[in-house]
């Protein structure tokens, strides 16, 4: 993608601002960030990009406030203007809150996605690509040695994952019905700079700094078996998103389901799987702190959470993309940056 106008929903969010950062490095890309600036959206993320980029680059970023639970009416559509690409990253994404208030997540993820798709159908006849940002959690817990491919069945275990599955199915339906060029992605356990400290790595850092125990959720029958994840840095997710935007539709072999589904889907996956206990120990080692752990069984403390998530990244690899950096390098980078910018641990 050498040029164009890109609408990023959730642009002030954690992953969204990393994508915008990536795009601002290209002088011919103009970015529109659409965000409602709630719990997850934080304009300070975008403001800090201004310290990295000059005034000329930042002029290519426009920020529009809008809550996607409301339709994008004709007046707002004119304000946005015609765009070449849409990357839909806005979502409610907290499992615990989805269990407390499921309807809020239906509004955020299903209704919000439908309103955006209607905006495309009614106001963006020349759109080149719509990328829906999805999650591994729609597939549910992965058995040992199983990695889910792009078209595997859904098995949602929380209202959050169910609403993300619903949003994805709406995208598939709009691709089938209205021939909108929609591409769906799944990723898992994204980490990086300026992430909310309620997430696992920030939470570990806060507990270590306060000399407190780190809670490790585990198999109740064996506390040494903690949850398993493939971790990926947000910059790598941004890089993968740009890679997908550059793909020419029809110029690559689509990953299809067994029954002929054609909406392109892509798993964006970290290189290697680590247990939560391993990650906590790695963070402690980087910080030079002693790790104190408290093991808690999943079933007792975390309804709606899964012991293991796993995606198969071979399709993206066959197309020519995989993360450029190893996990250990990225983790050290994030921990050291966050210690120097500790305000992001105190939100």
User: Quick one: pLDDT at residue 257?
Assistant: 62
Q: Is residue 238 part of a domain?
A: yes
Q: Residues 47-61: what's their mean pLDDT?
A: 94
Are 146 and 240 members of one domain? yes
Q: Is 145 exposed, middle or buried (0-12, 13-18, 19+ CB in 10 A)?
A: exposed
Which tens digit of pLDDT belongs to each residue from 100-140? 999 999 999 999 999 999 999 999 999 999 999 999 999 99
Do both 223 and 338 map to the same domain?
yes
Give the mean pLDDT of 222-226: 63
Whole-structure pTM value: 0.94
Q: What is the CATH number of the domain that holds 41?
A: 3.40.50.720
Per-residue pLDDT at 217: 79
Q: 148 and 96 in contact (C-beta within 8 Å)? A: no
In a domain, 316, yes or no: no
pLDDT value at 66 more than 90: yes
Angle between helices 159-178 and 112-123 (to 10 degrees): 20
Backbone angles phi, psi at 226, to 5 degrees: -95, 170
Whether pLDDT at 197 is above 70: yes
Instruction: Give how many domains the chain has, as a whole number.
Output: 2
Distance (Å, whole) CA 106 – CA 87: 20
Max avg pLDDT among 167-176, 216-225, 255-264: 167-176
**CA 226/CA 195 separation, integer angstroms:** 23
224: left (phi over 0), alpha (psi -120 to 50) or beta: alpha
User: Are 294 and 256 in a shared domain?
Assistant: no
| Residue 205 and residue 187 in one domain | no
Q: Phi and psi of 294, rounded to 5°?
A: -130, 120
pLDDT of residue 110: 98
DSSP string, 94-130: -HHHHHH-HHHHIIIIIIHHHHHHHHHHHH-TT--EE
Is there a domain that residue 313 lies in?
A: no
Q: Is residue 320 part of a domain?
A: no
Do 216 and 153 fall within a single domain? no
Would you say residue 104 lies in a domain? yes
99 in the same domain as 18:
yes
Asked whether residue 260 is assigned to any structural domain, the reply reads yes
Band of residue 144 on the pLDDT scale cut at 50, 70, 90: confident
How do residues 225-280 score in pLDDT, each as one tens digit?
Answer: 677 889 999 999 999 999 999 997 665 666 656 567 779 999 999 999 999 999 99
For the chain, what is the mean pLDDT?
A: 91
Rounded to 5 degrees, φ, ψ at 142 are -95, 125
Task: Answer yes or no: is 257 within a domain.
Answer: yes
- Whether residues 244 and 187 share a domain: the answer is yes
Q: Are residues 16 and 108 in the same domain?
A: yes
**Mean per-residue pLDDT for 69-91?**
97
- The residue segments making up the domain with residue 304 are 200-228+273-308+327-345
Whether residue 239 sits in one domain with residue 220: no
In the predicted structure, residue 302 carries a pLDDT above the cut 70: no
Q: CATH number of the domain that 206 lies in?
A: 3.90.25.10
Q: Do 277 and 248 fall into the same domain?
A: no
Check whether residue 294 and residue 177 sit in a common domain.
no
Give pLDDT, residue 346: 87
Q: What is the pLDDT of residue 223?
A: 57
Same domain, 132 and 163: yes
């Amino acid at each position: 993608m050498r040029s164009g106008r890109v609408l990023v929903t959730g642009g002030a969010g954690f992953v969204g601002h990393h994508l915008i950062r990536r795009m601002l490095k290209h002088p011919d890309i103009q970015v529109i960030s659409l965000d409602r600036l709630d719990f997850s959206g934080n304009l300070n993320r975008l403001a800090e990009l201004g310290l990295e980029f000059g005034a000329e680059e930042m002029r290519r970023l426009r920020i529009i406030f809008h809550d996607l639970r409301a339709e994008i009416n004709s007046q707002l559509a004119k304000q946005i203007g015609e765009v070449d690409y849409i990357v839909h990253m806005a979502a409610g994404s907290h499992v615990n809150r989805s269990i407390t208030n499921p309807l809020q997540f239906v509004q955020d993820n299903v209704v919000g996605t439908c309103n955006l798709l209607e905006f495309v159908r009614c106001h963006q006849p020349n759109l080149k690509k719509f990328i829906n940002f999805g999650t591994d959690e729609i597939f549910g817990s992965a058995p040992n040695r199983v990695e889910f491919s792009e078209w595997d069945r859904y098995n949602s275990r929380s209202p959050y994952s169910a609403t993300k599955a619903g949003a994805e199915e709406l995208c598939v339906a709009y691709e089938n019905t209205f021939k909108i060029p929609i591409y769906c992605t799944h990723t898992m356990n994204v980490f990086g700079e300026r992430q909310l400290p309620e997430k696992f790595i920030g939470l570990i850092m806060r507990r270590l700094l306060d000399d407190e125990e780190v809670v490790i959720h585990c198999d109740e029958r064996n506390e040494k078996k903690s949850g398993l994840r493939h971790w990926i840095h947000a910059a790598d997710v941004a890089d993968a998103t740009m890679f997908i935007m550059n793909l020419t539709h029809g110029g690559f072999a689509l990953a299809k389901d067994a029954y002929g589904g054609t909406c392109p889907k892509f798993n964006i996956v970290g290189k290697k799987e680590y247990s939560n206990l391993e990650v906590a120990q790695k963070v402690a080692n980087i910080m030079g702190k002693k790790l104190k752990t408290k093991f808690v069984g999943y079933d007792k403390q975390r309804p709606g959470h899964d012991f293991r998530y796993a995606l198969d990244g071979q399709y993206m690899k066959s197309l020519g993309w995989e993360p450029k950096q190893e996990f250990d390098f990225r983790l050290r980078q994030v921990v050291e940056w966050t210690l120097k910018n500790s305000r992001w641990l105190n939100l």
